[in-house]
Amino acid sequence: MKYISIGIIMLISFIISVVITKVEIPVLKRKAGQNIREDGPQSHLSKAGTPSMGGIAIIIAASLTTIGAAVMGKIDGLGCAIILLVFVGFGLIGFFDDYLKVIKKNNLGLRAYQKFGLQTILSVILAVYLANYTEGSTSVYIPFADIYVNFGIWYIPFVVFVVLAMTNAVNLTDGLDGLASGVTAFISLFFAVAGFTYAIATGAYFCSAMCGACLGFLVFNRNPAKVFMGDTGSLALGGGLAAAAILMKLELLLPIVGLLYVIEALSVVLQVGYFKISGGKRIFKMAPIHHHFEKCGFSEVQVVAGFWIFAVLCCVAGFFII
């Protein structure tokens, strides 16, 4: 019965997401056309003007569905509130960044210190709440050893690092039609099933709702995309996924099932670092790594399909581990 709940929550969130995305596309098309980087793959130049900030639909769909579950008494209201605070909060940071870049035509958007500072504040709020008001407090589950380890005073900086790393990794992954939305749907489904398996209802319901919202958005975001999620969506997805995983004490599974996110972020770090120390040389033809494969001759659809398969395999590995 508990696994049927995953399907019901996903379906409700999927329907809401499809409806809102369909409604928002013409509105965003008038106000929020996407700018395309000139040094990117030439095939992306045709995407100029595609409406961005479509992640608004994902946020509304997942939030309404999760709140509905809380109202019905299916999940803990306080736990639901803290996850949604992080989810919506990171979405708002992305929204303001998108608003400045896409609508106000300020290419810089939020300054790096502003964006990172706001993300850090939200991450600290989550860490302090979890350390003081949740069962298990500062304990972290170690998957391979199947034990819990108390991180003590290191728990808060650990949580802050996990949230910031995951959020920005998802943001870097959002570069091809359907890539971030599809991959996040798979990973959210993993945490939904894991949560219901171990009776962690709050995180499980939220992840089910986020999976459905991503799939609903994917209807319009698949190649050729009619809408992009923008930082509004990618930051929300990263923050919400991290918050749910940490609340379920499954945060150390994030780099395993979300290995693709890690690789995407690492490719950027390596590219920038090597460029600086080598005097202008590059490891990849272009970073993040999904653009490298495009530069190698793979079509956008082929890259996305390959990355989806990789994400599914990582999720399967996660089930074997737990």
Is residue 309 in a domain? no
pLDDT digits (tens, 9 = 90+) for 118-148: 999 999 999 998 888 776 688 998 888 888 9
Q: CB under 8 Å to 230, separation ≥6 — which residues?
A: 32, 34, 52, 53, 54, 55, 94, 98, 102
Which residue type is seen at 187?
I
Task: State what percent of residues in the chain have pLDDT above 70.
Answer: 93
The response to whether 223 counts as a known ligand-binding position is: no
Residue of 290, 283, 65 lying closest to 174 (CA atoms):
290
The whole-angstrom separation of Cα 58 and Cα 124 is 24
Q: How confident is the model at residue 220 (pLDDT cuts 50, 70, 90)?
A: very high
pLDDT at 246: 94
For residues 186-210, average pLDDT:
91
CB neighbours of residue 195 within 10 Å: 25
Q: How far is CA 95 from the centre of its chain?
A: 14
Q: Report whether 173 contacts 183 (CB < 8 A).
A: yes
Tell me: pLDDT of 45 over 60.
no
Is there a binding annotation on residue 171? yes
Counted domains in the chain: 1
Per-residue pLDDT tens for 254-296? 999 999 999 999 999 999 999 999 888 899 999 999 999 999 9
The Cα 148–Cα 290 span in angstroms is 36
- Looking at the domain assignment, is residue 160 inside a domain? yes
For residue 73, is it within any domain? yes
Asked if the model's pLDDT at residue 105 lies above 90, the reply is: no
pLDDT at site 126: 92
- What distances in angstroms separate CA 309 from CA 125, 269, 305, one per listed residue? 35, 24, 6
Looking at every residue in the chain, the average pLDDT score rounds to 90
235 DSSP 8-state letter: H
Give me the domain span that covers residue 174: 2-32+50-131+146-258
Burial 178-190 (b: 16+ CB within 10 A, else e): bbbbbbbbbbbbb
- Determine, yes or no, domain membership for 269: no
What local confidence, expressed as pLDDT, does residue 201 receive?
A: 79
d(CA 281, CA 273): 10
